[in-house]
Amino acid sequence: MRKLHMLDAVNAAIHEEMARDDKVFVIAEDVGEYGGVWNATRGLYEKYGAIRAMDTPISEAGFTGLCVGAAMAGLRPVTEIMYMDFITACMDQLVNQAAKADLMSGWQMQLPITLRAQYGSGSREAAQHSQSLEGWFCQTPGFKVIIPSNAYDAMGLLKSAIRDNTPCIFMENRNLYYDVIELPDEEYTIPLGKANVMQEGNDLTIVTYGMGVPVCQEAIKKMPNASVELIDLRTIVPLDFEAILNSVKKTGRLLIVHEATPGFSVGSEIVRRVVEEGFDYLDAEPLVYGNLRTAMPFAGNLEDAVLINPEGVVEKMKHLLTGVC
């Protein structure tokens, strides 16, 4: 076993995939000689050189467009948006080109692009550096959307994403970067589209991902008498709806927790599908708990008031279990 935090796991996964397949290369701002703004690409430039660990100008549109062309030509680009908020600068290249090229080419092209994007709130970086934008890409056909909650999942899921032949949006929460856990020494991958039932229970199902996982774990500790089933989705698209529905069939109660705002969200979509396909299993209305719908404030006390927290999860749990807020 080896002890790694998420940044170590991401770095190791990229190193191993570049060694395994010479078609894999990394390109983005500061990912080469500097080793990445978050140090996730350290050592690649020294080992593989400037062609396979390539720094770019500050132009998300430019290097993302290059990745689309490189993938069409048979390469496997791995790129990085250092703050997910900056992904707005390359939406045409992603949404109108990468996500649609396979269909529009009559399946003559594959687009094996892995786009890593750091995201998250709670670090006092205000409205333009704190957004959770996974819903945009879940809404667009053609993407896989992956959000690990720990180093083990980050390693296995990133390797699967790099090997996948469709564009993958791989979101890393910066607040989870330095949580250390043990990983096996031998190579492993985690299949995309398979949720992790982290804890089994009979009273209530909580579905979450990313930063929602430790928030929910802390909330569950505050209600030791409740039998809670905790599901970490790991991948949002493809969604492991079978795991969700099987759990709701057992518990009759559902709470979805994520950092994105609840409206028009991943949680909203899960509620829609559960109501359509498992309405008779429900003993209470399904709930979605997310950050408040507002631009993220810079002031610490105001940001804290916007964010999901264990106390808020406990409140929702009590409502579902007792009918009382």
DSSP 70-91: HHHTT-EEEEEESSGGGGGGGH
Please say if the pLDDT value at position 325 is more than 80. Answer: no
Contact 45, 33 (CB under 8 A): yes
Whether the bond into 238 is cis, omega within 30 of 0:
yes
Half-sphere exposure of 40 (CA within 13 A, CB side): 30
Summarised one tens digit per residue, pLDDT across range 21-40 is 999 999 999 999 999 999 99
Tokens of 297: 């404030």
Whether the per-residue pLDDT at 89 is higher than 70: the answer is yes
Helices (H), the chain: 6-20, 44-48, 60-72, 91, 101-104, 134-139, 151-163, 212-221, 241-251, 266-278, 300-306, 310-322
* Strand order through the sheet with 114-119: 53-55, 24-28, 76-81, 114-119, 168-173, 144-146, 235-237
| Residue 291 near residue 257 (C-beta atoms within 8 A) | no
Distance CA 255, CA 53 (A): 42
β-pair partners for 3: 182
Confidence of residue 1 (pLDDT cuts 50, 70, 90): confident
Enumerate the domain spans of the chain: 2-183, 196-322
User: Residue 182: is its pLDDT beyond 70?
Assistant: yes
pLDDT of 282 higher than 90: yes
In the chain, % of residues over pLDDT 90:
96
- Whether the predicted pLDDT of 312 surpasses 90: yes
Q: Fold match between 2-183 and 196-322?
A: yes
Rounded distance between C-alpha atoms, residue 131 and residue 265, angstroms: 13
Enter the tokens of residue 158.
């990133």
Q: Is residue 110 within 8 Å of 168, Cβ to Cβ?
A: no
**Could you confirm whether 285 is annotated as catalytic?**
no
Report yes or no: 245 and 277 within 8 Å, Cβ to Cβ. Answer: yes
**Could you tell me which of 301, 245, 253 has the C-alpha nearest to residue 278?**
245
DSSP H or E run through 179: none
**The whole model's pTM is what?**
0.96
Average pLDDT value for residue range 164-181: 96
Residue 63's pLDDT is what?
Answer: 97
Query: Which H/E stretch holds residue 144?
Result: strand 144-146
**Which CATH code for domain 196-322?**
3.40.50.920
Residue 60: active-site member: yes
Compare 14 and 123 and report the one with higher pLDDT.
Answer: 14
Contact call for residues 144 and 237 (beta carbons, < 8 A): yes
pLDDT in tens, 37-75: 999 999 999 999 999 999 999 999 999 999 999 999 999
Average pLDDT (211-240) is: 97
- Residue 170 Cα to chain centre, angstroms: 6
Pick the CATH number of 2-183 from 3.30.360.10, 3.40.50.970, 3.40.309.10, 3.40.50.300: 3.40.50.970
pLDDT score at 323: 80
Of 61, 6, 2, nearest in space to 29 by CA: 61
Round the average pLDDT of the chain to a whole number and report it. 96
**Does 324 have pLDDT greater than 90?**
no
Q: From the candidates 17, 60, 172, 269, which is the catalytic residue?
A: 60
Instruction: Find, among 295, 302, 141, 120, the residue nearest to 214 by Cα.
Output: 120
pLDDT in tens, 92-101: 999 999 999 9
Give the model confidence (pLDDT) of 232-267 as tens digits: 999 999 999 999 999 999 999 999 999 999 999 999
Given 29, 129, 259, 269, which residue is catalytic?
Answer: 129
Banded model confidence at residue 200, pLDDT cuts 50, 70, 90? very high
